[in-house]
Amino acid sequence: MRYVIIGNSAAGIKAAETLRKLDRGGLITIISDEPGPAYSRCLLPAFLAGMRNEDELRIRPENFYQRNLVDTVFGKKAVKVETGRKQVVLADDSRVEYDKLLIATGSSTAFPPVEGLAGPGVLGLRNLADAREILEYRRKARRVVVIGAGFIGMEAAYALYRRGLEVTVVEKMPHILPLQLDRPAAEIIQRDMQAEGVRFILGAGVREVAGPSLWTRLFGKTGRGVILDNGDRLKAEIVIVATGIKPNVDLVRDTEIKLNWGIVVDQYMQTAVPDVYAAGDVAETEDIITGIVCVSPIWPNAVTQGAIAACNMAGRPRLYTGLIGMQNAVEFRDVPAIAMGITQPPDGSYEVLALHRPERNLYRKLVLKDDVIVGMILVGDIGQAGVIAALMRKKANARKFKERILKGEFHHGYLQRAVS
């Protein structure tokens, strides 16, 4: 059996590992456009901040590929999947044949339609090459503007702040981390970072990124201007764009593989074409809380999807039973936070319980529907987050526990005592 995996990150590596466990004799090939071994994209901010070097970003030991007998085709981009001939076409026109294919190509920075984003010094932060380039620019930079206060933007901002740069974060929405947090939670995190010296401009869109004028270039300056909606002009030598991502689906366009925004898969992670599977940021799966089918670009879900796809590829049917699409843990400076599920209910049909102690950097919020927890935010004290998450996944009735959970007094012991 020839297994081919396109993508060498969370989903791809877990799939290769799982395939090798289930099929000792199968041929496994990983194709990646990046030249080196698998690393953690989540650690790129730590690399930017100078807290980890490149070797320390690797998610597996160096001999991982040899030990698992995985062939590698690195530094070559897969540009097309020919489902009829069961071949993957690479950028140099060479072809790789497969019996079972996993598409785990991930996602890349989606640059918004703002003028001037194509210029030098305007970068996303999605892969090691991006991070290296940012560090190149850093040598001559004093000021950074980060567009977008989502996770990547906030991580990049704090990392470059730690490198001694002046950082300004511009966010269109009225608070930071708008997809994950509500306002009280966001304000605690923002205050923590502001105290350190990061500057925020909220509720402001970016109209244009202007290059250095002829006059400034004459004086050897490279700074760019970030022009906001209201006409304000920020100056920066580095502009980081972190307003969103897009799944890397170009290689399956105009094939039988069904595309929505990401690749559509069934409950076995199989695409519309038999023997072709998809996992990770590129695959659309159903969120167990909201029922919405969408890409879920977070590390744990990519790994789990990679494992499930691999089981099915190896002929051991395993259903994708649904994960929580939105779940994130952060700690930028000193205050940890975990957010999961529906944190900002869209209408009044939800029960919201909240405990807010901003003076102690503490906030807890539970969102319930018919006594089932569908969302939570924990700021400051994140203990037991996984126990609450399990209640959410199981859609357990939390009537007896909800007050205790809110107060931070809940733990797994209550569930054990309930059965013993």
Contact residues: another protein, CB under 8 A? 10, 14, 40, 42-43, 46, 52, 56, 58-61, 299-300, 303-304, 307, 327-331, 336, 338, 340, 382-387, 389-391, 393-394, 411-420
**Nearer to another protein (CB atom), residue 55 or residue 254:** 55
Strand-pair category, 87-90 with 95-97: antiparallel
* Assigned token pair, 189: 């995190």
As a dihedral over the C-alpha atoms of residue 320, residue 309, residue 270, residue 105, rounded to 10 degrees, the angle is 120
Burial of residue 346 (number of CB atoms within 10 Å: 0-12, 13-18, 19+): exposed
**Nearer to another protein (CB atom), residue 145 or residue 188:** 188
**Nearer to another protein (CB atom), residue 29 or residue 327:** 327
DSSP class per residue in 44-113: HHHHHTTSS-GGGGBSS-TTHHHHTTEEEEES--EEEEETTTTEEEETTS-EEE-SEEEE---EEE---S
**Nearer to another protein (CB atom), residue 227 or residue 339:** 339
Closest approach of another protein to the CB of residue 73, in Å: 22
Neighbouring-strand partners of residue 71? 29
Residue with tokens 């270039």: 217
Closest approach of another protein to the CB of residue 318, in Å: 10
Q: How far apart are CA 119 and CA 253, in angstroms?
A: 28
Closest approach of another protein to the CB of residue 322, in Å: 13
Closest approach of another protein to the CB of residue 260, in Å: 25
Closest approach of another protein to the CB of residue 163, in Å: 17
Closest approach of another protein to the CB of residue 171, in Å: 22
Closest CA to 78 of 255, 229, 259, 293: 255
Closest approach of another protein to the CB of residue 341, in Å: 12
Q: Are 243 and 222 within 8 A, CB to CB?
A: no
**Nearer to another protein (CB atom), residue 42 or residue 259:** 42
**Nearer to another protein (CB atom), residue 168 or residue 312:** 312
Closest CA to 58 of 35, 44, 38: 38
Q: Are 263 and 270 within 8 A, CB to CB?
A: no
**Nearer to another protein (CB atom), residue 255 or residue 267:** 267
Closest approach of another protein to the CB of residue 88, in Å: 26
Closest approach of another protein to the CB of residue 419, in Å: 5
**Nearer to another protein (CB atom), residue 63 or residue 349:** 63
Q: Are 280 and 296 within 8 A, CB to CB?
A: no
Closest approach of another protein to the CB of residue 76, in Å: 24
**Nearer to another protein (CB atom), residue 102 or residue 147:** 102
Local structure of residue 202 (DSSP, 8 states): E
Q: Are 389 and 377 within 8 A, CB to CB?
A: no
- In angstroms, the Cα distances linking 243 to 57, 64, 261, 292 are 24, 34, 17, 21
Closest CA to 272 of 252, 242, 301, 246: 252
**Nearer to another protein (CB atom), residue 349 or residue 420:** 420
